Amino acid sequence: MTIPVTERLRILTAVEHDLGEYQTGVPRWCDGCGDNAILAAVQKVCRDEGLAPERTVFVSGIGCSSRLPHYMRAYGFHGTHGRALPIAEGVKMSRPDLAVFVSTGDGDCLSIGAAHWIHALRYNMDLTVLLHDNRIYGLTKKQVSPTSPLGTKSNTTPSGSVLRGLDPLAVTLAVPGVSFVAQAVDWIPEVLHQIVLAAYRHKGMSFVRILQRCPEFMPGAFEPYVQDPRRTLLLRHERGVRPSAALSRVYPNTREHDPSDLAAAREIAAVADPIPVGILYHDPAAPRYEDLRGAGAVRTPDAVRRALEAEFDKFTIRPHDDMTASAEA
C-alpha cells in the first residue's frame, strides 16, 4: 500500500503526548459525578494511542455529559440539543483522517436526538460514541429522562414516572448495520478504560453506554451495585475485556462471551441485574458509510467554486430571464 507523502511525514515526525497535554480547564461537574471518570478514561486512551490534539475532534450536544469537549485540549464542537451525531458525521465525511469522538447523554441522545441515534447506527461511520447514562436530566435540574426507572420522582414526574425506562442496548442491537456495542460503569475505571480503548480502535461506529452516578439528582441510584460486586457481570473474551487478576478477585461474577454472537449479545442486554459490563457485540466487517460514499475526496479550490456556482445558479434571476418570460407571455 502506498502511503501519501504528507502521511509519511506525519509518521516520521510523530511525538509522544503525556496525559497533561489533553487537559484544559478545570472540570465543573459535581464532586462524585461519573463524568469525571469518563473524562479520565478518554484522556488515557488519547495518550495510549498517541492521538495528536490537532487531529482529534470531540463533538457534543447539550447536557452535563456534553461539557466534555470543554475539558479536552483538541478540536471541539458543542452542538445543539440532540444534534451531536449528525455534526460528527459531517466532520467525518469531510475529514475521515480525523479521530472523532461523540459525548452525549441519555436525554441528549435518546430523547430529542433519538432519530439521529438510530440512523447513525445504520450508517456505521467511524465514530466513538460515548453515552453518559445517569438516568436523569442533570444540567436542567432533575427531569425524568428516557432511561429513568419506573417510579422515578422528578420535577416532571413528582408522583413517580409511569413508563418503564428505555433500554439503549437492546434498541441498538436491533438496528441493522450496528457494529460495536459495549457497556461500562464509571466505578470500575480499569474496565472503562479498556472498553473506550477498544471502541476507539474499532473501525465503525462504536456505541458505548456508560452507567454513571449523579450524586446531586440521583444519589444512591447505583450504590447497591457499587457495594455488592456480585451484582456486576463481567463479560470476558480474548477479543473483548480482559480484567486483571486483582479485579477478577473483586468481581468474581464473570461470563465468557464471544462478541461476534449477536443472539447472545441480545440475550445479555435483556438482563438488568446483574449489570453486564464489557463488549456485547463486535462486527469489524460491517460496511461503513464513508467508504461507500467516498468520503474525503480531494476538493480543489476550483472544484469547490464550481460546485457553489452551480448551486447559486439555480436561484439566480437575470435580466434576460425576465425578458424571455415577458416575450413568452
- What pLDDT shows up at residue 323? 57
Q: If we measure between CA atoms, which residue out of 134, 162, 163, 141 comes closest to residue 38?
A: 134
Q: Provide the CA 69 distance to its chain's centre, in angstroms.
A: 12
* Residue 209 main-chain phi, psi, to 5 deg: -85, 125
Alpha helices in 50-83 (DSSP H): none
Per-residue pLDDT at 315 exceeds 60: yes
CA gap 182, 233 in Å, rounded = 13
Helix (H) or strand (E) holding 121: helix 114-123
Average of per-residue pLDDT across 88-105:
96
Q: Is the dihedral of CA 258, 263, 264, 268 positive or negative?
A: positive
CA gap 179, 120 in Å, rounded = 11
Q: H/E/C letters for each residue in 207-264?
A: EEEEECCCCCCCCCCCHHHHHCHHHEEEEECCCCECCCHHHHHHCCCEEECCCCCHHH
Q: If we measure between CA atoms, which residue out of 172, 24, 214 comes closest to residue 85?
A: 172
Beta strand pairing call for 180-185 and 206-211 = parallel
The three-point CA angle 188-194-200 to 5° equals: 130
Ranking 21-25, 73-77, 304-308, 318-322 by mean pLDDT, the lowest is: 318-322
Q: How many CB atoms lie within 10 A of CB 53?
A: 15
Q: How far is CA 107 from CA 13, 63, 132, 145, 271, in A?
A: 42, 8, 9, 6, 22
Q: Provide the CA 125 distance to its chain's centre, in angstroms.
A: 11
- The pLDDT tens digits of the residues spanning 260-300 come to 999 999 999 999 999 999 999 999 999 999 999 888 776 67
Amino acid at 109: C
CA gap 179, 181 in Å, rounded = 7
**In the chain, where the domains are located:** 5-295
The three-point CA angle 84-171-117 to 5° equals: 15
Average pLDDT score, the chain:
92
Q: Per the CATH hierarchy, to which homologous superfamily does domain 5-295 belong? A: Thiamin diphosphate (ThDP)-binding fold, Pyr/PP domains (3.40.50.970)
Q: How far is CA 324 from CA 310, 312, 315, 327, in A?
A: 21, 20, 17, 5
pLDDT band with cut points at 50, 70 and 90 for residue 20? confident
- The pLDDT tens digits of the residues spanning 56-77 come to 999 999 999 999 999 999 999 9
Average of per-residue pLDDT across 102-123:
97
Which residues sit opposite 151 in a β-bridge?
A: none
Q: If we measure between CA atoms, which residue out of 113, 103, 111, 105 comes closest to residue 83?
A: 113
Q: How far is CA 150 from CA 143, 160, 258, 267, in A?
A: 13, 7, 32, 22
Q: Is the dihedral of CA 155, 161, 163, 169 positive or negative?
A: positive
